[in-house]
Amino acid sequence: MSIGVLQTVPPFGSIDPMEALGPLESLESLVREAKEGLSFDRTISRRLVHRASVTEVFLTDSVVAGADRFLVGAQLPRNHALYRPEESGRCDFMLLVETVRQAGIFLSHRYHDVPLGHHFIFKALSLHIVDPAALRVGSGPLAVALDVKVVTPAGTRTSRRFDARFDMVIEVGGRECARASAGVVVIDGVRYGRLRQRGRVAEATAAGRPEAAAGSRPGADRRTGPSGQKGQGDQTGQIDQGGQGGQVGQVGQGGCSEVRFGKQAGRDRAGTRSGAGSRDVLRPGPDSGPTTRPDGTGEWRLHVDPTHPGYFEHPSDHVPGMLLLESFRQAAELVAGEGGVLSSMEAEFAVFGELAEPVKVHAARTEGGRIRLSATQRGRLLATAGARCA
């Protein structure tokens, strides 16, 4: 991996004073050269993208291209245990989402001095495919360049917190194929522990379980969570825990979710979209009726398997954001009808989803061909999204 800095200002004395200069044109020319020079020979450290396995790392290189502008290289596999080509031959939409997620985490650590072990809370994530043909899977992996602008609100940075938005243009072979954006808040372990604790108390109280709320208060004898904090609950967003250990949940009682363990998991994501063995995260709703209705709506319960090697690539103490996004993808394509393939999604995360509680996923077609999606847990809104299928 070669992480470099793009020099945009020529050395003194190297410029012909008679030559007409075009600063913007010159800069973009240098950026193009830097993109072409990105290396795809090996991946970056798995720790910098919060992965436990090196095979789950897709980023390969990076270059500084200006003030808060960075170029990131990524190699997307032709096939993957979790991310597989669409029926159209296009690269998996969620593989691009995961690449965007990794890019935001990597840039925060590598160029903004965010310590390893801090917790990334994703507030929002969007992805829009603008050129599906450029993402068609061929005879080899896709070499992708991400042109990233990092926006950091003034006055929000402290030693314990970092806020940022990552706006990205995604290219393959110099051809723009997608645009994406991800908003995050990064906090240290102590603040995260307090955040989770307050949220779990609020969730237990709202669910009418005072004994569980009491067990979440400071000093209660609870299992240790991801940062060695006891009594961690949820408050807002979806977290990436950097591969740190966390306790998995229990089977939710009633409602619209199921959490399974080990061999009890049965069919591990059984292919709602393609019939493949491990791709389904949706199950029929509690009334056992049709999951999609003639009016263009649908409702499912979310299947959560804490032993899943993809969504629980490292232990988590909450429902992973990537699992919620995958459920939105599958729900959108189901209500879109035969041949519908997700082409855009804008998601916002509200609160953490607890592993031991049921989660309901709802989708509805709206005017203009858009699809409205939501995930709820005992009346609490976990996340929402707008999507479009092509």
pLDDT tens digit sequence for 168-207 = 999 999 999 999 999 999 999 999 999 888 877 766 776 6
Query: From the centroid of its chain, how far is CA 187?
Result: 17
Among 313, 338, 337, 389, CA closest to 93 = 389
CA neighbor of 197 nearest in space, from 149, 235, 238, 159: 235
Which pLDDT score, from 0 to 100, does residue 157 have? Answer: 74
In a 3-state reduction of DSSP, which class is residue 290? coil
The tokens for 149 are 């602008």
pTM of the complete model? 0.80
Q: Residue 90: name the closest of 137, 139, 140 by CA.
A: 137
Q: What are the pLDDT tens digits along the chain (390 aa)?
A: 555 555 443 443 444 544 554 566 677 888 999 999 999 999 999 999 999 999 999 999 999 999 899 999 999 999 898 999 988 899 999 999 999 999 999 999 999 999 999 999 999 999 999 999 999 999 999 999 999 999 998 767 787 899 999 999 999 999 999 999 999 999 999 999 998 888 777 667 766 766 555 544 433 333 333 333 333 333 455 656 443 333 333 333 333 444 333 333 333 333 344 333 367 899 987 665 667 888 899 999 999 999 999 999 988 889 999 999 999 999 999 999 888 999 999 999 999 999 989 999 999 999 888 999 999 999 999 999 999 999
For residue 262, the model assigns a pLDDT of 32
**CB-CB contact of 233 with 199 (8 Å):** yes
Token look-up 């960075």 returns: 70
Query: How much is the pLDDT for 285?
Result: 74
The two three-digit tokens of residue 225, written as one number: 């969570």
Closest CA to 327 of 289, 373, 369, 284: 373
Do residues 329 and 82 touch, judged by C-beta distance below 8 A? no
CA distance 208 to 171: 50
- 99, 76 in Cβ contact below 8 A? yes
Looking at residue 384, what is its pLDDT? 98
Residue 59 pairs in a beta bridge with: 74
Q: Which of 70, 80, 90 is nearest to 172 (CA)?
A: 90
Q: Is the Cβ–Cβ distance between 196 and 233 less than 8 Å?
A: yes
| H or E segment and range at residue 333 | helix 321-336
Per DSSP, the residues of 143-169 read: EEEEEEEEE--TT---SSEEEEEEEEE
Q: How far is Cα 268 from Cα 322, in angstroms, rounded to an integer? A: 16
Single out the residue of 38, 57, 273 nearest to residue 172, CA to CA. Answer: 38
DSSP-derived letter for residue 115 is: P
Rounded to whole angstroms, the Cα distance separating 224 from 213 reads: 16
Q: Which amino acid is at 162?
A: F
C-beta of residue 76 within 8 angstroms of C-beta of residue 144: yes
Give per-residue pLDDT as tens, 229-251: 333 333 455 656 443 333 333 33
- What pLDDT shows up at residue 8? 40
d(CA 307, CA 314): 9
